[in-house]
Amino acid sequence: MREIRVKMGEIELTTIPGIVLTTPGLGSGVGMGVYDRKSRMAGMAHIILPDSKILQDPEEDERPYKYADVAVSALLGKMLSLGAKKENLVVKIAGGIDAFNFKENSEIINIGGRNVKAVYNAINEMGLTVANADTGGSSGRILKLNALSGAFYLKIIGKKEAEF
């Protein structure tokens, strides 16, 4: 079993059985795992920001997959173009901690919350739904997807890894 670490701002796609895709250390970032049950294609995105439109020229960013709007449509689009079918896709997401802030208006630093919302929106825009999600709170997470079995695993830091 070989692990491919999906670093922040990257997407990965594999059809090789025996590969486990993983997003290590999700804080306010969101990991999105996608699996096609028929073709056994597995994809993962490690998103850290909600929207590429904060940039004047989004095209200029050399790491565009850190934005939810770009990463979700790029990963799903790629999988569909390689023969995956929407009705066979399983999409699960994890991450996006809430800002731990009780004193003042924390909206500005609630990047996690904005990421989660943006990921949901982008997935729905592609005509898909989220099969399982574990978001919010203040614990770090690790999301894994086994390309052979299509099994998803979630580790919440401080707890045991569990099927997800």
Partner 1 sequence: MTKIIHDILEREDNLPCNFHIAIQVSKMLDDFNVSIDKLAKVIGTDQALSVKLLKYCNSAEYGFSRKISTVNDAIARLGFKSFKTIVFTIVSKSSLNREIRGYGLKSGEIWKNSISCAFYSRYLAELTDYVDPDQAFTAGMLRDIGKLALQEYVENDFKNIINAVNNEKIPFFKAEEKTLGVSHCHIGALLAERWSFPQVLVDAVKYHHCPEEAQRAGCEDTDLVNIVHLADYLALILGYGIGTDGIMYELDMTSVEGLGFNLTCENMELLIADIANNSNEIESLISNIE
Residues at the contact surface with partner 1, assessed by CB under 8 A: 7-9, 24-29, 48-51, 54-55, 61-63, 66, 97, 99-104, 107-109, 111-112, 114, 137-140, 157-158
Whose Cβ is closer to partner 1: residue 101's or residue 149's? 101
Dihedral sign for Cα atoms in the order 43, 47, 51, 55: negative
Whose Cβ is closer to partner 1: residue 25's or residue 150's? 25
Query: Measured from the CB of residue 17, what is the shortest distance to partner 1 in angstroms?
Result: 27
Query: Measured from the CB of residue 51, what is the shortest distance to partner 1 in angstroms?
Result: 8
Q: Which amino acid is at 100?
A: F
Please tell me the distance from the alpha carbon of residue 148 to that of residue 37, in angstroms, as a whole number.
10
Per-residue tokens: 91? 């999409």
Residue identified by tokens 């079993």 is 1
Residue identified by tokens 């614990």 is 139
Query: DSSP secondary-structure letter at 49?
Result: B
User: Helices 111-125 and 68-81 sit at what angle, rounded to 10 degrees?
Assistant: 30
Query: DSSP secondary-structure letter at 101?
Result: -
Whose Cβ is closer to partner 1: residue 70's or residue 90's? 70
Query: Measured from the CB of residue 26, what is the shortest distance to partner 1 in angstroms?
Result: 6
In sequence order, what are the beta bridge partners of 36?
41, 89
Please tell me the distance from the alpha carbon of residue 114 to that of residue 104, in angstroms, as a whole number.
18
Query: Measured from the CB of residue 81, what is the shortest distance to partner 1 in angstroms?
Result: 26
Whose Cβ is closer to partner 1: residue 46's or residue 89's? 46
Whose Cβ is closer to partner 1: residue 24's or residue 150's? 24
Query: Measured from the CB of residue 79, what is the shortest distance to partner 1 in angstroms?
Result: 24
